[in-house]
Amino acid sequence: MRIYVDADACPVVKITEQVARKYELSVTLLCDTNHILTSDYSEVRVIGAGADAVDLALINL
């Protein structure tokens, strides 16, 4: 199982990672080029900027 998170300004990314780590689940954080993230646990995918770019990428996954 993998958890996908629209991580642009998401207030619960750390909590999501803590729970995922506890249950050994993979996490993918999606963000646009205006919200570059780093994570020691999750895979981070940077999506091009644009209206709803991250939302559309999330739907496609």
Number of domains in the chain: 1
Q: Name the residue among 56, 45, 51 with its Cα closest to residue 2.
A: 45
Can you tell me the distance from the alpha carbon of 57 to that of 61, in angstroms, rounded to the nearest whole number? Answer: 6
Extract the residue ranges of the chain whose pLDDT is less than 70. Answer: none
Can you tell me the distance from the alpha carbon of 59 to that of 14, in angstroms, rounded to the nearest whole number? Answer: 22
Query: 23 lies in which domain range?
Result: 2-60
- Give 27's contacts (C-beta < 8 A, 6+ positions apart): 2, 3, 4, 5, 16, 17, 20, 39, 41, 42, 43
- Is the pTM higher than 0.85? The answer reads yes
How many residues make up the chain in this entry?
61
Which pLDDT value is given to residue 8?
86
